[in-house]
Structures are given as C-alpha cells and as structure tokens.
Structure 1
Amino acid sequence: MFLPGARSSAGFPSPADDYLEKSLDLNELLISNKVATFFMRVDGDSLKASGIRNGDMLIVDRSINPSHGKIVVAVVAGELVVRRVESRDGKLVLTSDDASIKHEVIDGEEIQVWGVATSSVHIL
C-alpha cells in the first residue's frame, strides 16, 4: 500500500518524487512474530468501552506472556473469549468491561491464555 508524503504535486512532477517514503506494509507494522501470530474476529461487545467492538479483527501474538492490562484471547470452558488481564493478589484474573461477565482467575488448567492481542482493526 502506498503511503503518500505530506504533499502531492498538481502540476509538473517534482524531482523530489524520487525520494518518497517507502510504501506501507501492514504485515510489517502489525506483526512482530509471524510464526506465533493469528487473526481473530471479535464476536460481542464485552470490551466495547476499551475500544474493541463486535466485528473487529484482533491481531493476536501467542509468544507474548500475559500481564496486567493486556487484552488476551483465552480458553474458558472450551471456548475462546477476549478479556482484559488484571493482577489481583498476585494472581492474573480475566476481566471484562461488561459487569455481568464473571471475573475468572487464570489457573492454567480450566482457563488458559491462548495469546495476547497486539492490535485491533476496526472497519468504519
């Protein structure tokens, strides 16, 4: 994808056009570890207040360790869910912007973190 500079010529092309910025590579911008990265479509609005909406595309990196404040994809009761991680009393807890969703301690057995979301793509 071409990433234009701050200005475009409306007349004779400028000799400076030979020194335009390089094109934008979304893979380079959004993916730091290709082998460990996958895409996931969000289903639901449990993190809407955090800017993650129904239908958004998350870029998730499985090589990143979950930590306080990160958005993660986790396996809860056999299903993939998107939640925020909080540190409480030395334990990592899955939380949501939706008060009706129960907070759950990440124990590694019943609940496992699948990966950490690094970006969210929202279509206007």
Structure 2
Amino acid sequence: MEIFTSGKLTKVKSRHEPGVSKQTGFTSPATHYLEPTIDLNQELVVNRDATFFVRVDGDAFKEHNILNKDVLIIDRSLSLNFDALALVVQEGEFKIRRIPFGFSEKEEEFTVWGIITYIIHYAR
C-alpha cells in the first residue's frame, strides 16, 4: 500500500468571529452625535467664492415654481446655457428669467447676474 502526501494542513488565518454585543439596556439618545452632519455648502455649492444665497419675498415668481420665503442658490461663475433659470437685473431691479435661445447681453434688455442652481422651498 502506498501513502500519498499532499502537504501539511494549516489553520485558517482569518476567520470571522462574531463579537459579543457591549450594549446593555436602551440605546443612548446621543448616538446621533457620532454621525457626521450634512453640510449643505459642501453638497450644493460648486464654487464657494461665486455663490450667493437669496431669500425670495413674495409670490411674484410662481411661474418658475419659486414661492414666498424660498431660498435661491445662485452661482455667478457658471456659463450661460439656453433655458437656464437666472437672476437678472432689468431696469435696475432683480428679476428671475429663463435664458432665451441665442441670448446675447448686448441685444437683450437685461443683464444676467447669476445662474440659479437650487431652489430650497420653505415648508410652512
């Protein structure tokens, strides 16, 4: 009878070992402090130096779904795109308009102040 050897058997080096729960009783009401907070500047702002927040007063812009007390995030560094929602200066007043196709500031009666990137609706 012949004996064949195929090598030594070794122990598995990494083995999952379930841990024992260290929590006793109720969970701490302060555990949410361990989670990082959501920074809206980091999430919604691309160019911090050229971004402004504007609160709307009144319902004059309902046609653009912008209501009273909403906050607009406006980026002045973005390039103009057709149909983009923008804050413009027209006859010395701020207004909200869509950029028309083939827009040229020299030909239009308004000046683009910045592009609206987000509208934060007031919930109450």
Q: Deviations over 1:80-115 (max 9, x none)?
A: 11111121xxx22xxxxxxxxxxxx74378421000
Contact 1:68 1:86 in 2 (8 A): yes
Match of 1:107 in 2: 106
Match of 1:39 in 2: 53
Contact 1:41 1:56 in 2 (8 A): yes
Q: In structure 2, how many angstroms separate the alpha carbons of the residues matched to 1:68 and 1:37? A: 20
Structure with bigger strand share is: 1
Q: In structure 2, how many angstroms separate the alpha carbons of the residues matched to 1:85 and 1:42? A: 20
Count of matched residue pairs: 96
Identity of aligned residues (%): 41
Gaps of 5+ in 1: 1-10, 93-104
TM-score by length of 1: 0.63
TM-score by length of 2: 0.63
Contact 1:71 1:116 in 2 (8 A): yes
Q: Structure 1 48/69 Cα, relative in aligned 2: closer, same or farther at 3 Å?
A: same
- Tell me how large the CA RMSD over aligned residues is: 2.7
Pick from 84, 91, 95 the counterpart of residue 70 of structure 1. Answer: 84
Match of 2:74 in 1: 60
Pick from 42, 45, 48 the counterpart of residue 62 of structure 2. Answer: 48
Match of 1:119 in 2: 118
Partner-residue secondary structure (3-state), 2:99: strand
Q: Which has the higher contact order (CA 8 A, sep 6+)?
A: 1
Q: In structure 2, how many angstroms separate the alpha carbons of the residues matched to 1:46 and 1:64? A: 25
Q: Structure 1 21/107 Cα, relative in aligned 2: closer, same or farther at 3 Å?
A: farther
Computing the radius of gyration from Cα coordinates, the structure with the larger value is: 2
Q: Structure 1 108/73 Cα, relative in aligned 2: closer, same or farther at 3 Å?
A: farther
Gaps of 5+ in 2: 1-24
